[in-house]
Structure 1
Amino acid sequence: MTHAILLFSHGSVLCGAGETLFELARRMEARGDATIVEAGFLNYSEPTFEEAFEKCVARGAQKITIAPYFLVAGYFVKVSLPPKIAAMSEKFPNVQVKVAEALKTHQFLADAIVNCANRALEPEKWRDILNTAPQFCRDNPQCPLNGTPQCPLRPSK
Protein backbone atom coordinates (compact mmCIF):
# COMPACT_ATOMS: atom_id res chain seq x y z
CA MET A 1 0.00 0.00 0.00
CA THR A 2 1.58 3.27 -1.14
CA HIS A 3 1.77 5.67 1.81
CA ALA A 4 1.72 9.47 1.60
CA ILE A 5 2.18 12.11 4.26
CA LEU A 6 0.33 15.36 3.63
CA LEU A 7 1.76 18.23 5.68
CA PHE A 8 -1.12 20.61 6.44
CA SER A 9 -0.51 24.21 7.47
CA HIS A 10 -2.40 27.49 7.61
CA GLY A 11 -0.73 29.41 4.79
CA SER A 12 0.32 33.04 4.56
CA VAL A 13 -0.33 36.10 2.44
CA LEU A 14 3.44 36.67 2.24
CA CYS A 15 4.87 35.18 -0.93
CA GLY A 16 7.34 32.42 -0.23
CA ALA A 17 6.18 31.79 3.33
CA GLY A 18 5.23 28.22 2.42
CA GLU A 19 8.69 27.39 1.07
CA THR A 20 9.76 26.09 4.49
CA LEU A 21 7.00 23.49 4.39
CA PHE A 22 7.89 22.50 0.82
CA GLU A 23 11.52 22.05 1.84
CA LEU A 24 10.45 19.89 4.79
CA ALA A 25 8.30 17.76 2.46
CA ARG A 26 11.23 17.33 0.04
CA ARG A 27 13.55 16.28 2.86
CA MET A 28 11.05 13.83 4.32
CA GLU A 29 10.42 12.21 0.96
CA ALA A 30 14.15 12.05 0.13
CA ARG A 31 14.96 10.23 3.34
CA GLY A 32 12.09 7.79 2.81
CA ASP A 33 9.72 8.79 5.61
CA ALA A 34 6.92 7.99 3.16
CA THR A 35 6.82 7.16 -0.53
CA ILE A 36 5.03 10.46 -1.15
CA VAL A 37 5.20 13.66 0.91
CA GLU A 38 3.22 16.74 -0.13
CA ALA A 39 2.31 20.06 1.50
CA GLY A 40 -1.10 21.75 1.41
CA PHE A 41 -2.53 24.90 2.94
CA LEU A 42 -5.81 26.04 4.44
CA ASN A 43 -5.63 29.67 3.27
CA TYR A 44 -3.68 32.08 1.07
CA SER A 45 -0.87 29.74 -0.03
CA GLU A 46 -0.87 27.14 -2.77
CA PRO A 47 -1.48 24.31 -3.20
CA THR A 48 -4.66 24.06 -1.19
CA PHE A 49 -5.22 21.07 1.08
CA GLU A 50 -7.52 19.58 -1.55
CA GLU A 51 -4.99 20.08 -4.36
CA ALA A 52 -2.23 18.46 -2.29
CA PHE A 53 -4.52 15.53 -1.42
CA GLU A 54 -5.38 15.05 -5.10
CA LYS A 55 -1.67 15.19 -5.97
CA CYS A 56 -0.98 12.42 -3.43
CA VAL A 57 -3.69 10.29 -5.07
CA ALA A 58 -2.41 11.09 -8.58
CA ARG A 59 1.05 9.94 -7.46
CA GLY A 60 -0.44 6.61 -6.37
CA ALA A 61 -1.20 7.06 -2.67
CA GLN A 62 -3.56 4.47 -1.24
CA LYS A 63 -3.05 5.62 2.34
CA ILE A 64 -2.65 9.29 3.31
CA THR A 65 -1.61 10.47 6.75
CA ILE A 66 -2.52 14.11 7.32
CA ALA A 67 0.20 15.68 9.48
CA PRO A 68 -0.95 19.05 10.88
CA TYR A 69 2.02 21.41 10.96
CA PHE A 70 0.69 23.18 14.05
CA LEU A 71 1.92 23.32 17.64
CA VAL A 72 -1.55 22.58 18.99
CA ALA A 73 -4.68 21.05 17.51
CA GLY A 74 -6.68 24.27 17.65
CA TYR A 75 -9.44 25.67 15.46
CA PHE A 76 -7.81 24.92 12.10
CA VAL A 77 -7.17 21.28 13.00
CA LYS A 78 -10.38 20.58 14.96
CA VAL A 79 -12.86 22.67 12.93
CA SER A 80 -11.44 23.60 9.51
CA LEU A 81 -9.72 20.32 8.65
CA PRO A 82 -12.47 17.67 9.24
CA PRO A 83 -14.84 18.86 6.47
CA LYS A 84 -11.93 18.98 4.04
CA ILE A 85 -10.98 15.41 4.93
CA ALA A 86 -14.63 14.32 4.62
CA ALA A 87 -14.88 15.85 1.14
CA MET A 88 -11.68 14.16 -0.02
CA SER A 89 -12.72 10.83 1.52
CA GLU A 90 -16.01 11.03 -0.35
CA LYS A 91 -14.21 11.87 -3.59
CA PHE A 92 -11.62 9.09 -3.07
CA PRO A 93 -13.39 6.38 -1.03
CA ASN A 94 -10.65 3.79 -1.66
CA VAL A 95 -7.95 5.93 -0.03
CA GLN A 96 -7.35 5.25 3.66
CA VAL A 97 -6.98 8.51 5.63
CA LYS A 98 -5.52 9.04 9.09
CA VAL A 99 -4.69 12.23 10.98
CA ALA A 100 -1.55 12.61 13.08
CA GLU A 101 -1.42 14.65 16.27
CA ALA A 102 -0.24 18.25 16.24
CA LEU A 103 3.41 18.81 17.16
CA LYS A 104 2.62 19.71 20.80
CA THR A 105 5.56 19.32 23.17
CA HIS A 106 7.43 16.47 21.50
CA GLN A 107 11.03 16.18 22.74
CA PHE A 108 12.35 16.53 19.19
CA LEU A 109 10.59 19.90 18.97
CA ALA A 110 12.22 21.03 22.21
CA ASP A 111 15.61 19.95 20.83
CA ALA A 112 14.97 21.86 17.59
CA ILE A 113 14.01 25.03 19.49
CA VAL A 114 17.14 24.84 21.65
CA ASN A 115 19.24 24.26 18.53
CA CYS A 116 17.72 27.34 16.87
CA ALA A 117 18.11 29.41 20.05
CA ASN A 118 21.80 28.49 20.19
CA ARG A 119 22.21 29.87 16.66
CA ALA A 120 20.20 33.07 17.26
CA LEU A 121 21.11 36.11 15.17
CA GLU A 122 20.73 39.85 15.63
CA PRO A 123 17.46 41.26 14.17
CA GLU A 124 19.15 42.88 11.16
CA LYS A 125 20.57 39.49 10.16
CA TRP A 126 17.50 37.27 10.59
CA ARG A 127 14.94 39.62 9.14
CA ASP A 128 15.61 38.71 5.52
CA ILE A 129 11.96 38.42 4.55
CA LEU A 130 12.16 41.40 2.19
CA ASN A 131 15.07 39.77 0.37
CA THR A 132 13.67 36.25 0.04
CA ALA A 133 9.93 36.78 -0.46
CA PRO A 134 10.23 38.24 -4.00
CA GLN A 135 11.96 35.04 -5.16
CA PHE A 136 8.60 33.29 -4.77
CA CYS A 137 6.37 36.16 -5.85
CA ARG A 138 2.95 35.41 -7.23
CA ASP A 139 0.13 37.78 -8.09
CA ASN A 140 -1.30 38.26 -4.59
CA PRO A 141 -2.77 41.68 -3.73
CA GLN A 142 -2.91 40.65 -0.04
CA CYS A 143 0.87 40.20 0.20
CA PRO A 144 2.39 42.75 2.62
CA LEU A 145 5.05 43.54 0.00
CA ASN A 146 2.46 44.41 -2.67
CA GLY A 147 2.99 48.00 -3.78
CA THR A 148 6.34 48.36 -2.01
CA PRO A 149 9.70 48.82 -3.73
CA GLN A 150 10.47 45.15 -2.93
CA CYS A 151 7.47 43.83 -4.91
CA PRO A 152 8.62 42.59 -8.33
CA LEU A 153 5.05 42.51 -9.72
CA ARG A 154 3.54 45.73 -8.39
CA PRO A 155 6.32 48.00 -7.12
CA SER A 156 5.41 51.36 -5.64
CA LYS A 157 5.68 54.31 -7.96
Structure 2
Amino acid sequence: MTTAILLMGHGSRIPEANDALYAIAEMVKARTGCEIVEVAFREQYAPNIQSGIDACVVRGASRVLLYPYFLFAGAHVLEDLPEEMAQAKERYPGLEMILGRPLEVHPKLGEIVCERIWESLSCAGWDLAAAKAVC
Protein backbone atom coordinates (compact mmCIF):
# COMPACT_ATOMS: atom_id res chain seq x y z
CA MET A 1 0.00 0.00 0.00
CA THR A 2 1.28 3.42 -0.92
CA THR A 3 0.57 6.17 1.57
CA ALA A 4 0.31 9.85 0.71
CA ILE A 5 0.17 12.88 2.97
CA LEU A 6 -2.07 15.74 1.88
CA LEU A 7 -1.35 18.92 3.81
CA MET A 8 -4.43 21.11 3.78
CA GLY A 9 -4.37 24.81 4.57
CA HIS A 10 -7.02 27.50 4.60
CA GLY A 11 -5.71 29.38 1.58
CA SER A 12 -5.23 33.08 0.95
CA ARG A 13 -5.83 35.43 -1.95
CA ILE A 14 -2.20 36.51 -1.45
CA PRO A 15 -0.06 33.84 -3.16
CA GLU A 16 3.00 34.45 -0.97
CA ALA A 17 0.93 33.61 2.10
CA ASN A 18 0.35 30.12 0.68
CA ASP A 19 4.05 29.49 0.08
CA ALA A 20 4.55 28.57 3.74
CA LEU A 21 2.54 25.38 3.34
CA TYR A 22 4.72 24.31 0.42
CA ALA A 23 7.81 24.88 2.59
CA ILE A 24 6.24 22.80 5.37
CA ALA A 25 5.46 20.07 2.82
CA GLU A 26 9.15 19.88 1.86
CA MET A 27 10.09 19.57 5.55
CA VAL A 28 7.49 16.82 6.06
CA LYS A 29 8.75 14.94 3.01
CA ALA A 30 12.36 15.16 4.21
CA ARG A 31 11.55 14.10 7.79
CA THR A 32 9.09 11.30 6.99
CA GLY A 33 10.63 9.95 3.82
CA CYS A 34 7.11 9.78 2.39
CA GLU A 35 7.37 10.04 -1.39
CA ILE A 36 3.91 11.50 -1.91
CA VAL A 37 3.37 14.75 -0.03
CA GLU A 38 0.88 17.09 -1.65
CA VAL A 39 -0.58 20.49 -0.72
CA ALA A 40 -4.16 21.71 -1.09
CA PHE A 41 -6.24 24.63 0.13
CA ARG A 42 -9.75 24.81 1.50
CA GLU A 43 -10.60 28.07 -0.24
CA GLN A 44 -9.28 31.08 -2.13
CA TYR A 45 -6.30 29.30 -3.69
CA ALA A 46 -5.57 26.32 -5.91
CA PRO A 47 -5.23 23.43 -5.80
CA ASN A 48 -8.42 22.76 -3.87
CA ILE A 49 -8.75 19.72 -1.63
CA GLN A 50 -10.42 17.53 -4.26
CA SER A 51 -7.58 18.29 -6.67
CA GLY A 52 -5.09 17.48 -3.91
CA ILE A 53 -6.70 14.10 -3.32
CA ASP A 54 -6.72 13.48 -7.07
CA ALA A 55 -2.98 14.29 -7.23
CA CYS A 56 -2.28 11.72 -4.50
CA VAL A 57 -4.23 9.04 -6.36
CA VAL A 58 -2.57 9.87 -9.70
CA ARG A 59 0.81 9.44 -8.02
CA GLY A 60 -0.21 5.95 -6.87
CA ALA A 61 -1.59 6.41 -3.36
CA SER A 62 -3.99 3.77 -2.09
CA ARG A 63 -4.37 5.57 1.22
CA VAL A 64 -4.15 9.24 2.17
CA LEU A 65 -3.57 10.99 5.47
CA LEU A 66 -5.34 14.31 5.11
CA TYR A 67 -3.51 16.58 7.53
CA PRO A 68 -5.25 19.84 8.45
CA TYR A 69 -2.58 22.53 8.85
CA PHE A 70 -4.90 24.51 11.12
CA LEU A 71 -4.35 25.66 14.68
CA PHE A 72 -7.65 24.38 16.07
CA ALA A 73 -10.53 22.07 15.23
CA GLY A 74 -13.00 24.70 14.02
CA ALA A 75 -15.73 24.42 11.40
CA HIS A 76 -13.31 23.61 8.57
CA VAL A 77 -11.77 20.68 10.43
CA LEU A 78 -14.96 19.38 12.04
CA GLU A 79 -17.40 19.88 9.16
CA ASP A 80 -15.86 20.92 5.84
CA LEU A 81 -12.94 18.52 5.67
CA PRO A 82 -14.99 15.40 6.49
CA GLU A 83 -17.40 16.56 3.77
CA GLU A 84 -14.48 16.82 1.34
CA MET A 85 -13.45 13.27 2.28
CA ALA A 86 -17.00 12.01 1.65
CA GLN A 87 -16.98 13.60 -1.82
CA ALA A 88 -13.66 11.98 -2.65
CA LYS A 89 -14.92 8.61 -1.38
CA GLU A 90 -17.63 8.72 -4.06
CA ARG A 91 -14.94 9.01 -6.75
CA TYR A 92 -12.49 6.61 -5.12
CA PRO A 93 -14.46 4.00 -3.13
CA GLY A 94 -11.36 1.88 -2.51
CA LEU A 95 -9.21 4.76 -1.27
CA GLU A 96 -8.46 4.71 2.43
CA MET A 97 -8.46 8.17 4.02
CA ILE A 98 -7.99 9.41 7.53
CA LEU A 99 -8.13 12.95 8.86
CA GLY A 100 -5.26 13.97 11.13
CA ARG A 101 -5.52 16.23 14.17
CA PRO A 102 -4.82 19.94 13.77
CA LEU A 103 -1.88 21.57 15.53
CA GLU A 104 -3.89 22.44 18.68
CA VAL A 105 -2.10 23.36 21.91
CA HIS A 106 1.37 21.86 22.06
CA PRO A 107 4.47 22.78 24.11
CA LYS A 108 6.54 23.21 20.94
CA LEU A 109 4.08 25.80 19.65
CA GLY A 110 4.49 27.69 22.93
CA GLU A 111 8.25 27.61 22.42
CA ILE A 112 7.90 28.93 18.88
CA VAL A 113 5.59 31.74 19.99
CA CYS A 114 8.08 32.80 22.69
CA GLU A 115 10.90 32.64 20.15
CA ARG A 116 8.96 34.92 17.81
CA ILE A 117 8.17 37.29 20.70
CA TRP A 118 11.87 37.57 21.53
CA GLU A 119 12.71 38.16 17.87
CA SER A 120 10.07 40.88 17.62
CA LEU A 121 11.26 42.60 20.77
CA SER A 122 14.86 42.37 19.64
CA CYS A 123 14.02 43.91 16.25
CA ALA A 124 12.25 46.73 18.07
CA GLY A 125 15.35 47.28 20.21
CA TRP A 126 13.55 46.47 23.42
CA ASP A 127 15.27 44.93 26.43
CA LEU A 128 15.55 41.18 25.81
CA ALA A 129 16.23 40.34 29.47
CA ALA A 130 12.87 41.86 30.43
CA ALA A 131 11.22 40.07 27.51
CA LYS A 132 12.59 36.69 28.55
CA ALA A 133 11.17 37.26 32.02
CA VAL A 134 7.73 37.52 30.41
CA CYS A 135 8.05 34.10 28.79
- TM-score range relative to shorter protein: 0.7 to 0.9
Alpha-carbon contact 1:2-1:35 (below 8 Å) kept? no
Determine the structure 2 residue equivalent to 1:17.
Answer: 17
**TM-score, scaled to structure 2:** 0.82
Distance 2:67 2:79 in 1: 15
SS in 1 for 2:8: strand
Distance 2:58 2:83 in 1: 21
**TM-score, scaled to structure 1:** 0.71
Distance 1:115 1:95 in 2: 41
Q: Please, which runs of 5 or more residues in structure 2 have no aligned partner?
A: 125-135
Offset at 1:26? 1.4
Q: Please, which runs of 5 or more residues in structure 1 have no aligned partner?
A: 123-157
Matched-pair identity in % = 32
Determine the structure 2 residue equivalent to 1:34.
Answer: 34
Distance 1:117 1:95 in 2: 43
Determine the structure 2 residue equivalent to 1:148.
Answer: none
- Give the aligned residue type for 1:89: K
Offset at 1:33? 4.8
RMSD, aligned α-carbons: 1.5
Deviations 1:51-109 (A, max 9, x none): 11111111111111111111111011112112211011121112110011111112222
Change (3 A) 1:57 1:106: same
Distance 1:62 1:112 in 2: 35
Deviations 1:4-54 (A, max 9, x none): 111111111112211000111112112335331111111111111111111
- Give the aligned residue type for 1:6: L
Determine the structure 2 residue equivalent to 1:64.
Answer: 64
